[in-house]
Structure 1
C-alpha cells in the first residue's frame, strides 16, 4: 500500500489559555508571522479553552477547512509539563478518532530552542541599552529568570538550564530562577535572597511566550519585594512575546515533526552552534565525529586549527 506524501500539512499551535485578551492578539500576530515561513494553514487553540476559544480540536478542524491534508500539532508552551505531555494529546484525541486516516504529527514544545535564547539575550541587551547601562554586567549584578512553575520537576529543571545558559552566553556570572506558583522559590523570595547576597542590580527576564495572569503575578511579587529593598535596582528585560525569533522556533519545530530530528538533547550544543563566546567550537570533533553533517564547513574549520596546540582540547578551543 502506497501512502501519499502530504502536500499541505497544516500547523495547529496549542497554547495554555488565559483571560488576558492581549494573549489572543499576540498569538494571532505570531500565526501571521509563521504563515510567512511555512506557507501552510496555521491555526491556534487553547488547552484551557473554557477561558478562551477555540479548543485544540476546533482549531484542527479549522486547519482542515483551510485545506490541510495532514496536521502538525505543536504545544505552544515553554517547557514540557502536564499540559504538553497529557492535556494537549488528550484534547486532540477526539479529533484524531474522527479523522483516523489523516496523518497527524505531534511536535515538541519550544523548550531550549536556540532562537529563544537569541531573543532572551536581545531583550536583556535592549533593556540595558535603554537604561544607559554598559553592555557587560558588573560583578554586583545578577540575572533572575522567572517561569510559570509546575508540579513536573522536568519542566522546572529546564528553567534552571535556561537561566544558566543565558548567563553563560552573556556577561552575567550569577543566575537565579523563580516561579509564579506551584513550586519554589517565589520571585519575591529570589529578589530578597539576591539582595542578602550583596547584589545591587538584578536583571529579570520572564521565560513566558504570551501575556497572562501568571506573568502579572510575577510582576506583583517582584514589586512587592522591591518596596522593602528600594536600594536594589531591578532591570525589567520583559519576556518573549510574538517576536521573529519565536516564529523561527515554531517553524523549526514544525519541520522537525514532519521530517524527523535525529539529534539527542543537544538543541544548544556548542559543537553545533556558534554560541556567543564559543563560536570557534562549532564543528569541532565530538565523540569521534567530524561534524560535517551539521556544518558543511566543519572540515575547513578543523583544518585551520591543525597547528593550534589547543586543537584537541575543546575547553581551550
Structure 2
C-alpha cells in the first residue's frame, strides 16, 4: 500500500506549523493515496522517522516523501536523506522514494507575481523587485534564486530585479535595501521568498520600518505562503513517483 509523507521545514512559531498542516490537508484532498502524513525536519513534531513509523503502522509498504521546501540546499541534500536512511534501517521491507523541493519552476514565478499583485500600485516601468531569500552556504541556493529573479524579470518586464539573503551569503538584507534605495526606480516591491511566517518575516518587517525614508515608494509583499499552485506541483510530483513504480 502506498503512502505520502509530507516533510515541512518546521518552526517554533505555532502559526507557521498551522499553515503547514492546513496546506497538507489541501494536498490530501487532491492526492488519491490512502495514507498521508505530515512531519517536520526540525523545531516541531513529529520528526521524519516518526512520520515514516506512522505510515508503516497504517500498512504502508511504499512511501513517497514530498519535501515542502522552496529550494534544494542542506535540508534537502543532507538532513532529509539522513533521516530516511535511518527510517529504512527500521523498516527494511518498506520502499521509500523521495521527491524534490519546488526549485526553479514557472509556477513559482507565477506565485511571486500573484503576491506582488496583492500590493498597490501595479508594477510598471518605474518599478523594481527586491527578492529576499532565506540564504544558505550551499552554492545552489544563490544560483537558483538568481535564476528565479531572471525569469521574474523576463515575465514582468520590470527594469530591474535584484536579490539579497537573510543569512549565510550575500548580498545581505541591509545591502539589498541600500542597493534598491540607490536605484533610479521610484517603486520598490520587496518580496520575501519564504514559504511560511515566522522570525525571518518579522526581521524583514522590522528592517523596513527602520529603514531611512526616501522619495521612493516601498511595498512589502506577502510571503509566498502555501499557495494553491503548490498543490498542483505536489499532485504532479506524487503522480510521477507513483508512475515510476508502475513502470519499474
CA contact 1:110–1:253 (8 Å) conserved in 2? no
1:121-140 paired onto structure 2 within 5 Å: 121-127=113-119, 131=120, 133-134=121-122, 137-140=123-126
Aligned with 1:188 (options 159, 174, 177): 174
Shift of 1:67: 4.1
- Are 1:235 and 2:219 counterparts? yes
Aligned with 1:33 (options 26, 35, 38): 26
CA contact 1:107–1:253 (8 Å) conserved in 2? yes
Distance 1:68 1:173, change over 3 A: farther
TM-score by length of 2: 0.91
Q: State how far apart, in whole Å, the 2-side matches of 1:211 and 1:259 are.
A: 34
Distance 1:9 1:230, change over 3 A: farther
Q: State how far apart, in whole Å, the 2-side matches of 1:171 and 1:33 are.
A: 33
Q: Relative to total residues, which structure has the larger strand share, 1 or 2? A: 2
Q: Deviations over 1:56-95 (max 9, x none)?
A: 1111222233443311112211111111101111112221
TM-score by length of 1: 0.72
Q: Which consecutive residues of structure 1, in runs of 5 or more, have no partner in the other structure? A: 1-7, 261-317
Q: State how far apart, in whole Å, the 1-side matches of 2:52 and 2:180 are.
A: 45
Q: State how far apart, in whole Å, the 1-side matches of 2:113 and 2:12 are.
A: 29
More RCO (CA 8 Å, sep 6+): 2
Aligned twin of 2:89:
97
CA contact 1:148–1:215 (8 Å) conserved in 2? no
Q: State how far apart, in whole Å, the 1-side matches of 2:181 and 2:23 are.
A: 37
Distance 1:43 1:126, change over 3 A: same
Aligned residues: 243
Structure 1 stretch displaced more, 168-177 or 213-222: 213-222
SS of 2:118 mapped into structure 1: helix
Q: Relative to total residues, which structure has the larger helix share, 1 or 2? A: 2
- Are 1:250 and 2:222 counterparts? no
Aligned with 1:44 (options 35, 38, 41): 38
Aligned with 2:102 (options 95, 103, 110): 110
CA RMSD of aligned residues (A): 1.7
Shift of 1:223: 3.0
Aligned twin of 2:65:
73
Q: Which consecutive residues of structure 2, in runs of 5 or more, have no partner in the other structure? A: none
- When Rg is computed on C-alpha atoms for both structures, the one with the higher figure is 1
Distance 1:213 1:103, change over 3 A: same
Q: State how far apart, in whole Å, the 2-side matches of 1:169 and 1:23 are.
A: 30
CA contact 2:130–2:161 (8 Å) conserved in 1? yes
CA contact 1:17–1:46 (8 Å) conserved in 2? yes
